[in-house]
Amino acid sequence: MGTAEEVGSAPFVSTGSLPDPERVQHLLHDAHGRYLPDTGGTVSQVYPALAAVDPALFGLAVVSSAGRVYSAGDALTPFAIMSVVKPFTFAMLCEDVGVAQARRLVGVNATGLPFNSLAAVERAGGGRTNPMVNAGAIATVAALSGGPVEQRWTRIEQAMARFAGRTLTVDSEIYASASATSQRNRALAQLLSSLGSFSTDPAEAVDLYTRACCLSVTAQDLAAMGAVLADGGVHPLTRERVVGVESCRAVLAVMTTSGLYETSGDWLYEIGLPGKSGIGGGIVTVSPGKGALATYSPPLDDAGNSVRGQRASAHLSRSLGLDLFISAPMNEPGQGSS
């Protein structure tokens, strides 16, 4: 399969913009009121600290590529980023080794299986899954450059701060809870190590991944992080270049195919955008060239995706004009074409 480099021509990028600011804010408040009464789903029971989170919390945020920030509800309430960190650690790896080598190291194909599946690793060549599931995310952080484990953690922490546009800290309670109950991730790391997927100490790789998942963010932070990917790697608020254009494209590609685990096809069918969910209740949705939408609501469906978040994202994707697959005919039948 040819690569972008082999094609040799500069790619076109998404164009267009969000509606006027007053309408964006109105639509956000409308979506918040519309889906706030929805009580579907169950708060994650994976870690004890997550099980104690208030299921009524619900926040929405949009950050545009032009640098405008919109929010509704509990958009500034902190929560654990969990798996929504995965696109951003993969972006780091793409910057470290290049997008072609990142694909060779981790894999990019959807597994069609749950996010913590051992079977997905066993049936893939060399244990290569994709960076949006736990096995691939652990392999991703294991492959990051930076020397000793604490030095690598500092790199991750600083990179996530650049994506968010502010310093992020680890939620110590959730980190302790996740570390004490991460047997599944430790098993994944041991299996990956036995297959030669990485040479890092498996325990160190799991700890780095766990710490990254326990960074505390808000829906507004997630929208800003997603907006970096929407704007070709430049933060729309700080104007700092965080990652390169090719890294952004690679990340959005795997978010599109695998960002909501085994329900990624349903997500793409309904929302029509790259997205990434986490069991903390967050979802980030990226509209290339326009900006990013983030939702926070802890109750999850059986696949581990926020119920309110999915419904609000589907509604806002249409009303904000974000869906990549919606088009209108330039010429009605009988009018000719140019």
User: Are 156 and 208 contacting, i.e. CB atoms less than 8 angstroms apart?
Assistant: yes
Question: What local confidence, expressed as pLDDT, does residue 195 receive?
Answer: 87
240-250, pLDDT tens digit by residue?
999 999 999 99
120-130, pLDDT tens digit by residue?
888 877 889 99
Question: What local confidence, expressed as pLDDT, does residue 8 receive?
Answer: 44
Alpha carbon distance 140, 94 (integer Å): 10
Which domains occur in the chain, in start order? Answer: 17-319 (3.40.710.10)
Question: What local confidence, expressed as pLDDT, does residue 198 receive?
Answer: 82
Question: What local confidence, expressed as pLDDT, does residue 114 receive?
Answer: 76
Mean pLDDT by 10 residues, the chain (338 residues): 43 74 97 97 91 96 97 98 98 97 94 81 85 95 90 96 98 93 90 85 94 98 98 97 97 96 93 97 97 98 94 96 83 55
Alpha carbon distance 50, 200 (integer Å): 29
Question: What local confidence, expressed as pLDDT, does residue 1 receive?
Answer: 44
What's the pTM? 0.92
